[in-house]
Amino acid sequence: MKLSMKRFALALAMAALCHAAAAGDLKISALAADATELDLFSPDADGAYLKSVELSKLKFPIAILEDRNGGFIVRLEGKKYYVNGPDVIANNVYKVTAECDNAFTTSLVGATRGIAGKGC
């Protein structure tokens, strides 16, 4: 029992370390091409708009504390904010395990092309 608890605690610690390491590697290197300001939102559940910061006042790279799937949590001037994914250039990669196959969409009539276009 004691051994299992130890193993469990070790696994938890490793998982926490991995998560921190993964988030630690993520960075915002610049604003998106046409943006002159960065919009900041509350990182809380409501996600309210708080303010916009001019490009000249930002220092890159900005470390990403958390990848929220389409948006990021960052720390600016000691406070945490949520920023939109498309507003910045970041090194995040979306996880994809789905495969490629045409067998379905080649024989449909009266259907849309499919969200991914014709696929592969």
Partner 1 sequence: MYRLLALCAAAVLLTGCETMGTSPRWMPTALNSDTPYLQQLSPEKAKAPADDKEVREDVRRMQSLGLGLVYYPELEQLLNDELQRIKATSGFVEVPGRVYILASPTMNALTTDQGNIYVPIGMLMDIQSMDEVDALLAHELAHTVLSHTDVDIVKEIQKKGTAAYGLVNRLSMDASNAESAARRIRNSMALYMATEKVISPTWSRTQETDADKLAVDFLVQAGRNVNGMTALLGRLDQWGKINATLHEKDKPKQSMLVTAASSQFAQNEWQALLIQAADPIGRKIEDGIAQAGHTHLSSEERLDDLNEYIRAHYRKAARPAMDSKTWRKVAHSQKSRRLAQGVVQSHVAFRSVSQGKSAAASTLLAKSKHRDVQGQTYYQLARASVAEDRGRSEEVLDLADASAANVYASYRLQVMAQQAKARQVGGKADSEELRTLYEQFDVYGRPAEFYYDLIQLADTTDNVGLKVELAVRCQAAYFGDANACSSGQKQDVAKQEAGLVDGLLGIFGK
* Contacts with partner 1, residue ranges (CB under 8 A): 32, 39, 41, 43-49, 68-71, 82, 84-87, 93-120
Contact 16, 48 (CB under 8 A): no
Min dist. Cβ of residue 100 to partner 1 (A) = 5
Name the pairing type of β-strands 71-76 and 88-90. unpaired
Phi-psi region of 108 (alpha: psi -120 to 50; beta: other; left: phi over 0): beta
Q: Which residue, 6 or 25, is less far from partner 1 as judged by CB?
A: 25
Residue with smaller CB distance to partner 1, 61 or 86: 86
Smallest separation, CB 70 to partner 1 (Å): 3
Q: Which of 28, 7, 4 is nearest to 86 (CA)?
A: 28
Q: How far is the CB of 39 from partner 1 (least distance, A)?
A: 6
